[in-house]
Amino acid sequence: MRLVSFNNGTSSKLGTVIDNKIYSLRDGYSEFLKNKGEGLADKISKVRIPDNTVKLIEGGDKAYKALKEANDFIEKNQDMFESFDLEKVEIEAPIMPKIIICGGANFDDHLEETKRSKPNEVEFFLKAPNCVIGPGKNVQYERRVTEKYDYEVELGIVIKKEGRFIPEEEAFDYIFGYTIVNDISARSRQVIPWGESNFQLRFGEGKNYDTGCPLGPWIVTTDELDDVSSLDLKTWVSGELRQNNNTENLIWKVPQLVSYYSQFMTLQPGFVIASGTPGGPALGSDTELGADPYQRDDGVQRGAYMKSGDQMKLHIDGIGDLENPIK
């Protein structure tokens, strides 16, 4: 299922995307219950399928069962329901996460271009949820933050239930679904020259500011996307290919990330884990910040930092495309 948050001009709702059309999941569940003879269908559907994705996930197995029943009923009876064109409604971020847990240094090609050795453990930093914006929304080009705005395509892992000290072999039991995260980075704030050849990394300033985390376009639940071991990740900036890799090249795979972060904090429904980005961001071409922009043979073009007016398009197989301009 592709779980989308959309606004049809009156209010925000949760929907399912079927054949490039959006359908209200709450309406679908209400009609499903009425078809079973339930007299309180509208009231029950409002409780089971709220307008907020985090609240929905917090509803646990009952809410997920309702979600599936609604989606399946809509698929079989599409003519019964009002549908919305993807291009004609406002698509919002599919989730406003409680927190975004980010993993850095997780692709060899990104380590090589930034002349960094492979760490013993994944980098661990946080992004504030108020950075999140939805598809199509403007990333603010604010010179008081930085003039080195950078893009980063990452697989977003949406947590569905509480867990601490999660074994790797049980990690997938804690995942609700997947989305695309664009970890916009203010490089002049994140990487600070320190002496002749040393650099200080500051993830607070470099990663947290308004509009710094486009997310979407929807969440693909694990019943539809159950294997994320080999998904292409790509980024285009104004039509130019800048990133090109695959999740099979993650240093720490999805179950390892879930398990690792759960050693430090109790993962909760509505947390989003970002996988880390592959090589190709502008940082990898910034010799002032210690990069070694080696030549690539996969079509990736070495490029400068984004300028106002650029259009970002991020793609992950099995999920789709996340597009945002920077202005």
The pLDDT tens digits for 111-131 are 999 988 888 998 899 999 999
- Residue 160: predicted pLDDT: 98
Give the start-end residues of each E strand in the chain. Answer: 2-7, 12-18, 21-24, 84-85, 90-92, 100-104, 123-127, 132-133, 149-150, 153-159, 175-182, 185-186, 191-194, 198-201, 213-221, 232-237, 240-246, 272-274, 311-316, 320-325
31-36 mean pLDDT: 97
- Residue 195: predicted pLDDT: 66
Band the pLDDT of 309: cuts 50, 70, 90. Answer: very high
CB 148 within 8 A of CB 188: yes
Q: Compute the distance between CA of residue 275 and CA of residue 247 in angstroms, rounded to an integer.
A: 9
- Residue 193: predicted pLDDT: 79
Band the pLDDT of 133: cuts 50, 70, 90. Answer: very high
pLDDT tens by residue, 237-273: 999 999 999 999 999 999 999 999 999 999 999 999 9
Homologous superfamily (CATH) for 94-325: Fumarylacetoacetase-like, C-terminal domain (3.90.850.10)
Band the pLDDT of 192: cuts 50, 70, 90. Answer: confident
Q: Is the pLDDT of residue 200 over 90?
A: no
Q: Compute the distance between CA of residue 72 and CA of residue 114 in angstroms, rounded to an integer.
A: 47
- Residue 308: predicted pLDDT: 96
Q: Is the pLDDT of residue 152 over 90?
A: yes
Q: Is the pLDDT of residue 231 over 70?
A: yes
List, in sequence order, every residue forming a beta bridge with 214; answer none if it has no partner: 133
Residues 6+ apart with CB under 8 A from 140: 210, 211, 326, 327
pLDDT tens by residue, 10-21: 889 999 999 999
91-113 mean pLDDT: 95
Domain map (residue ranges) of the chain:
2-91, 94-325
- Residue 198: predicted pLDDT: 73
Band the pLDDT of 39: cuts 50, 70, 90. Answer: very high
Model pTM? Answer: 0.96
283-294 mean pLDDT: 92
Q: Is the pLDDT of residue 191 over 80?
A: yes
Radius of gyration of the chain from its Cα atoms, rounded to whole angstroms: 20
- Residue 196: predicted pLDDT: 64
Q: Is the pLDDT of residue 7 over 90?
A: yes
DSSP character at residue 107: B
Helix, strand, coil distribution of the chain in percent, nearest 5: 25, 30, 40
Band the pLDDT of 9: cuts 50, 70, 90. Answer: confident
- Residue 224: predicted pLDDT: 96
Q: Is the pLDDT of residue 235 over 70?
A: yes
Q: What is the mean pLDDT of the chain?
A: 95
